[in-house]
Chains A and B, each alone.
Chain A
Amino acid sequence: MQSLYPPIVNGKAVYDLDSQKYIRVWQGPQHPGVTGNMSLELDICGDQVIKCNTHVGYLHRGFEKLMERRRYINCFPIVCRICVPEPDTNEYLFAAGMEELMGVQIPEKAMWLRALNLELSRLASFLMHLGGQSGAFGMGTVAQWTIAYRDYVLDLFEELTGARIYHMYMTPGGVRGDIPEGWIAHTHKVLDGASKLLDEIKHVMLNNAIFKQRAIGLGVITPEMVDHYGIVGPNARCAGLKRDVRKDNPYLIYDQLDFEVETETAGDAYSRTCIRWRETHQSIDLCRQILAKMPPSGAVHITLPNVLHLKIPAGQTYVRAESTRGEYGYFMVSDGSEFPRKVTVRGPSYSHAMALLEDLLVGVNIADVAGLMVSLHTYPPEIER
């Protein structure tokens, strides 16, 4: 059987596609098992993938070019379009970079509201991911439950910010508005329901024999690989490394909340799913803490000069935050004019989807390609912007 597979010469499989042994199949961009709009070019031998090329760029809009042409305040509508399931991280990072370059401090209440918004968006994104993970292994039921429940979280956003998906809520100098009437009670109800749903998911998905059989030992990430590939976030934590931006470089008010960094040691798809399941619980808990500790009143934003002609002193900085997929960073360069000189977005999927996925997929059964890809929680628009 081993002779069927091509010989490995210094790390690369040497084979000839025309010999009728190997097929080249494309997964995506039009493929239900591929996350978002990207494509994998797989060379398979029997049931086994022997080579993978990731093709991105289907969603390239040239954000960094467009931002050079827009004033700072005009950049806000487009930065949140970079990551659809979790746009608030982009808004926060762009606003934080601006404030750091301007050297302004935002009010206390605004910090808490921003952290609350970030955690809620983490919750929504995690719910979507858990659904995708179960759907990638063919269990559509859990996917339907979680993605349907995500809508209730989006309702919270709608009440708070007025928008459902893209809520330009964090503006430079604070947030756009305070909490509306009765929103906190509604939030508590939604959070309780979410934790109930998560327990159901644990019974249906994480304790399922077939799910374990397929996910355990799939796409193992070792601690040595983490730095070599630039792996961040849950994918790095599943290898046993305690790395969380919220703990390492606390931003906003995360140093006043108490939470533990979730880690696993196995490093396979199952442990990644468990970590994300526990981090969903963690987000719910953090939301409750924030709602409890938040100052009841106070200013939610400072008054800036006319933002349309806002000039930002020259300088360069890098701000980072913890998104669901790991460290999310903005590198901003200002030359003292009204337009940003350069804004570079560092999406966590950048290293996960290109370099890491191409190497993890080698030798994987073609039935598990979707499961492995989803378990890395890659998201194409961060790669190409």
Chain B
Amino acid sequence: MNLAYKIFWAFISLGVVTVWGLTLNGIVHKIFARVQGRLGPPVWQPFLDIIKNNSIRTAISHGVMFYLGPVFRIAGGIGTYMFIPVLFGSVYFSNFSMSGDVLLVMYFIFFGQLGMALGAGEGGHPYSAIAVSRGLAQMTAFEVPFALSVISLALQYKTLSITEIVAAQQGSFLNWTLFTNPLAVIAAMIAMLGMNMYNPFSLVIAPQEIPIGPPTEYQASFLGLLATNRGIFGGAKLVLFMNLYFGGATNLVELIVKTFWIYMLSVFVGAAYPRFRTEDSIRFFLKYPTALGIISVLLFSL
């Protein structure tokens, strides 16, 4: 299949995953509402919000970097997604996966948030500055167990390509990393709690403390871009975790089911816990998940 086809199908799957990620956001709001005894917003509310945000008539800018912040963010999201094979064995939904794309993906996960930090910094709001420092500190903290678990996967499967990792997990569900390397999976899932930024790790957009963090100054279409990126980036992260730890997916139904349940973990935790302080959160990530990651690395390196 030549490059044009590949790009075409990549963007098709990008659209699919964006829609699914936004719908997932709506479902999450619904679930939170039900836990709180409410009816909650309709599932398609995120789409409406995006349309509304893009239909705002005026917009305030604070400079070039302020523009580029959301652009970097969504570039990071798309970049993260573009190198993850979505469906195993499908010619169309395997994006641009290559050998060693795990490292690339981990780099892109960082990239978006760094760009957002730059943009929010130029916003000039003190809460943005505080939230950026919080967010970068926490991100550095949860990247440690995540990186450790990925290293242990690389040691386990002797490869750095997501496709081969998924291929190695095919057959029965007992071949999933969840069962062959549970320690790494636990470490990575805890890291994902921090990545999704629900309670108790919602330091960055803490409405009662620093309302509402980096996007404080962002409005109108900037906010619409950020909301779109929530769909893309969330979907990409979920697909990545599904590929690495839960045996990937061979069709869209399997993808939807698996990503939904992976996401629900952070939702269940988030509905029942208050918020960490920054230093507590960092301490938490550097304690048990890191230890689990190190143990799993040692297990497979010996």
Contact = CB atoms under 8 A, between A and B. Distances in A.
A211 B274 contact: yes
B75 interface: no
B275 interface: yes
A270 to B, nearest CB: 12
Given A33-B208, A208-B274, A370-B209, A138 B129 contact: no
A135 B206 CA distance: 11
A82 to B, nearest CB: 26
A368 interface: yes
Contacts of A211: 274
For the side of the interface on B, what is the size category?
20 to 34
Contacts of B129: 23
Interface stretch (B31-39, B160-168, B259-267): B31-39
Classify chain A's interface size: 20 to 34
Interface in A140-161: 140-141, 144-145, 148
Interface in A348-376: 365-371
Contacts of B274: 134, 137-139, 208, 210-211, 214
B35 A141 contact: yes
Given A145-B37, A210-B200, A370-B209, A25 B277 contact: no
A3 interface: no
B280 A47 contact: no
Given A136-B208, A141-B36, A208 B130 contact: no
A32 B211 contact: yes
B278 A138 contact: no
Contacts of B276: 210
A154 B274 CA distance: 28
Given A25-B126, A214-B277, A138 B36 contact: no
Given A140-B36, A148-B37, A208-B273, A213 B207 contact: no
A293 interface: no
Interface string A24-48: 1100000111000000000000010
A371 B203 CA distance: 14
Nearest to B212: A32
Contact of B199 (A31, A139, A213): A139
Contacts of B272: 141, 204
B206 A367 contact: yes
A366 B210 contact: yes
Contacts of A144: 36-38
Interface of A: 23-25, 31-33, 47, 134-141, 144-145, 148, 204, 208, 210-211, 213-214, 365-371
18 contacts: A23-B129, A24-B126, A32-B208, A33-B208, A33-B209, A136-B208, A137-B274, A138-B202, A138-B209, A141-B271, A148-B37, A208-B273, A210-B273, A210-B280, A214-B280, A367-B277, A369-B209, A370-B209
Interface of B: 35-38, 126-127, 129-130, 199-200, 202-203, 206-211, 271-278, 280
> Which 6 pairs between the two chains have the least Cβ-Cβ distance?
A138-B275, A144-B36, A33-B208, A137-B274, A139-B274, A370-B208
